[in-house]
Chain A
Amino acid sequence: GQQVMQIPQYQHVQEGEDFTTYCNSSTTLSNIQWYKQRPGGHPVFLIQLVKSGEVKKQKRLTFQFGEAKKNSSLHITATQTTDVGTYFCAGLFISNFGNEKLTFGTGTRLTIIP
């Protein structure tokens, strides 16, 4: 089945440092979504990327979708303690039967050292 891998699995950064998580799929994605899950919380939608090579920004967060639509990244500039959590990408696959399935990546857990 389709798999979406994320690296790194864990990332510890000093407050103020940058952070990047990478998402990779073995097959082409229709689109990709990013979610943030705070410790003890539930996933919250951040953004969706649809077009090849698309780049979107939300304040300190920059999201990119690869040209081949098989990979994506999330970059946070100057991390703050409020950025703590696990970041999941979720890729939408189009199956051979024409149906669609959103598959979550393995997640990257970000911890901030104050």
Chain B
Amino acid sequence: DAMVIQNPRYQVTQFGKPVTLSCSQTLNHNVMYWYQQKSSQAPKLLFHYYDKDFNNEADTPDNFQSRRPNTSFCFLDIRSPGLGDAAMYLCATSRDITATNEKLFFGSGTQLSVL
């Protein structure tokens, strides 16, 4: 089945130790998003790729970076994780940008813990 896959499901890292989260999709969607969701809060958009074009949200810390080497894969790099970065990180895709009324398909998320 076509889907959005995130690995790993749980990730533990140390304070300040770089970590990379992975997302892949078999939907062949143009747009891939990274959201941060803390407990009992709404998903917060960090950035998105429209094809190869990177779009950063104004309030996303520089500590967060992303790479999209091809259509199928997208990575979230946290250069120096702090305790406040512990959260669920959700990858999502849409066929086109949301302006064209496209719905989001979410992966199962990676729960990041920072020790």
User: Could you tell me which A residues sit within 8 Å of B by CB distance?
Assistant: 30-31, 33, 35, 41-45, 48, 50, 88, 90, 92, 94, 99-107, 109
Contact = CB atoms under 8 A, between A and B. Distances in A.
Interface string B48-69: 0000000000000000000000
A102 B104 contact: yes
Interface of B: 40-45, 90, 97-99, 101, 103-109
A31 B100 CA distance: 10
A109 B40 contact: yes
Nearest to A31: B101
Contacts of A30: 99
B90 A43 contact: yes
30 contacts: A30-B99, A33-B103, A33-B104, A41-B108, A42-B106, A43-B43, A43-B90, A43-B104, A43-B106, A45-B104, A45-B105, A48-B101, A48-B103, A88-B42, A92-B98, A92-B99, A94-B99, A99-B99, A100-B98, A100-B99, A102-B45, A102-B98, A102-B104, A103-B45, A104-B42, A104-B43, A104-B44, A105-B42, A106-B41, A106-B42
Contact of A42 (B45, B90, B97, B98): B90
B42 A42 contact: no
